[in-house]
Structure 1
Amino acid sequence: MNPELCTLETCSIEDAYIHYQPSIPGNAIYIALFGILLVAQVVQAPLYRMWGFSVSMFAGLVLEVLGYAARILFHDDPFNFDWFLMNLISLSLGPVFFCAALYFLLGRIVVVYNGEDISRLRPKMYATFFISCDAIALVMQSAGGAITSTADDSDMRTVGTNVMIAGLAFQVAALTLFIYLGSEFAIRLRRRAAQSAGRRDSDRKDDEFAAIREKRRWKVWIFTIVLSTLLVYTRSIFRVIELNGGYDSELANDEAAFMVLEGALISIMCICMTALHPGVALQQKRRKRDSSVELLERTP
């Protein structure tokens, strides 16, 4: 049976692409929230000029708005493949860009802690390596979406879905490595701090970033980075499990699970990265440049 020939009056909801009508109020809340965060990121971008981070956040937020708009359109027409695909692709690809935004930040953290000597990679290599991984994940998920959208039969749509799952799994693997390297750096940093606990203040006078690290907002921001990474990681694992079970699985048709493990987790992450923008923690507002910012920017 072709779902495109169905309506809510002529067919059961069990014959639709998802077996429920998405909540209009719930999805409207997410559209409004992501829309507000999108405007905030646009305003913040020229203030802090962290263009890699800002462009990644912008792209991800646009996709989130499109994805939840598709879910609202899907409410009255759950047999429409276009709305289903728009929802699937947008909400699958959006977090890829949020991962990219996070990848830009680990190298900055290494620089601020003067940790080049204890870091596995050079600061800029974190962004280079993990953005490359993100690009691969993006291509795989986009290719899967393209195959699914152009397939003439269910077998090819299954192939497209499997390619998307592979892209999501690759994204999870990259995030796992990112978490490992970040955790290892934190452990090495703690050990170095313990070993240098008795160092005299005169030995630390050349520390360009001490003023940044001593501020409360820096410590809060580090916590938000850890939280945001774990939120995206949890969401990505959920999506792999969800899609791996197929569109007819119980998890794929559990709206409550989707709204929490997809919508809520990504919302909290975006709020964290907008309310406490990295430029604030890094003191990177361009109205008044200082030597710390200049050194941070030219660090290889």
Structure 2
Amino acid sequence: MSDAYIDYLPNLSANAFFAALFGLIFMLQLGLGVWYRTWPHMIAMLPGLLLEILGYVGRVLLHNNPFDFNNFLLYLICLTLGPAFFSAAIYICLGKIVIIYGENISRFRPRTYTTIFVSCDLLSLILQAVGGALASQGQDGDTSTSDTGVNIMIAGLAFQVFSLLIFMVLASEFALRVRNSPKSENDDFTSLRQSSKWKMFIFCLALATITIFIRSVFRVAELQGGFSSPLANNEVDLMVLEATMVSIACIAFTVAHPAIIAGRTWSSL
């Protein structure tokens, strides 16, 4: 398989499973988003889920023909870009969480968190998309342009990791301020904050953030070594650190969908 774009045949069952799983989550997110009218959350989640589906379809097609460059790009670009949309969904949630606990507790206004981090996510997405477009030129033998594209993709992913890290620091700092200022909390949402559903939502949001962060660090390391590196050609690592991590994040976001927790109140915050 020296002429193939990866040094192994992708496992058909595993990749078909993840394509189907993300397809199911897509339908659930669509239904919940339309029913509860959580448009920003739905708009953030659905493109990411569609990219995940296409990415694993690309890997299924690579199982049948590992020499097809278009299928390789479908897998590479879609699975690289998808989680950036999930990060945006996470960032949108923090602004609403600040309102529910109390804006006066927060260091920044709720909209400030959303604007800054969604903007960072958009920049990361643009870098990854441009990098993917340039990397696709490798089919024509333009290795210099292809290498430049890969480097831009790495820069986009690295920026995503940095943004997530800063987000986790600021979210943790806000949590500490909440803990130290219990009397300043928003009285309108006391019953919501005390419910088991809300605690599950916070746990699932933290879990989604950590798993997307782990996945993003993995993809930086994977692309840094190049397409021929051992890490880029180890399907077990990909299934664990990419597929499983992103799946956990998406399942967490579905089980603890914001509207399931807060109802249509969420969309009005």
| TM-score, normalised relative to structure 1 | 0.86
What amino acid maps onto 2:112 in structure 1? M
| Counterpart for residue 129 of structure 1 | 116
TM superposition shift of 1:15: 3.0
Q: How far did residue 55 of structure 1 move?
A: 1.1
Instruction: Pick from 28, 31, 43 the counterpart of residue 43 of structure 1.
Output: 31
Q: 1:79 and 1:256 mapped to 2: Cα distance? A: 21
2-structure distance, mates of 1:146, 1:220: 39
Tell which structure's C-alpha radius of gyration is larger.
Answer: 1
Task: Deviation per CA, 1:231-283: give whole Å up to 9, x if none.
Answer: 00000000000000111111110000001100001011101111221112223
Q: d(CA) in 2 for partners of 1:14 and 1:182?
A: 47
Structure 1 letter corresponding to 2:106: S
Partner of residue 71, structure 1:
59
Name which of 238, 246, 253 aligns with 1:266: 246
Distance in 2, Cα, partners of 1:275 & 1:187: 26
Which residues of structure 1 form unaligned runs of 5+?
A: 1-12, 197-202, 285-292
Could you say what the CA RMSD is over the residues aligned between the two structures, in angstroms? 1.6
Aligned residue pairs: how many? 267
In the other structure, the counterpart of 1:256 is 236
**Preserved CA contact (<8 Å) 1:96 1:137:** yes
Partner residue of 1:173 out of 158, 162, 168: 162
CA distance in structure 1 between the partners assigned to 2:166 and 2:256 by the alignment = 25
Cα shift at 1:134: 0.8
| 2:14 counterpart letter in structure 1 | G
Contact 1:212 1:283 in 2 (8 A): no
Aligned partner of 1:10 in structure 2 is none
Question: Equivalent residue for 1:105?
Answer: 93
What TM-score results when the alignment is normalised by the length of structure 2?
Answer: 0.95
Q: Corresponding residue for 1:297?
A: 268
Distance in 2 (CA, whole Å) between partners of 1:252 and 1:221 is 34
SS at match of 2:105: coil
Instruction: Provide the rounded CA distance (Å) in 1 between the counterparts of 2:181 and 2:166.
Output: 22
- TM-superposition CA deviations, 1:149-170 (whole Å, max 9, x none): 1343222111110000000001
Q: Give structure 2 stretches of 5+ with no counterpart.
A: none
Q: Is 1:143–1:160's contact at 8 Å kept on the other side of the alignment?
A: yes
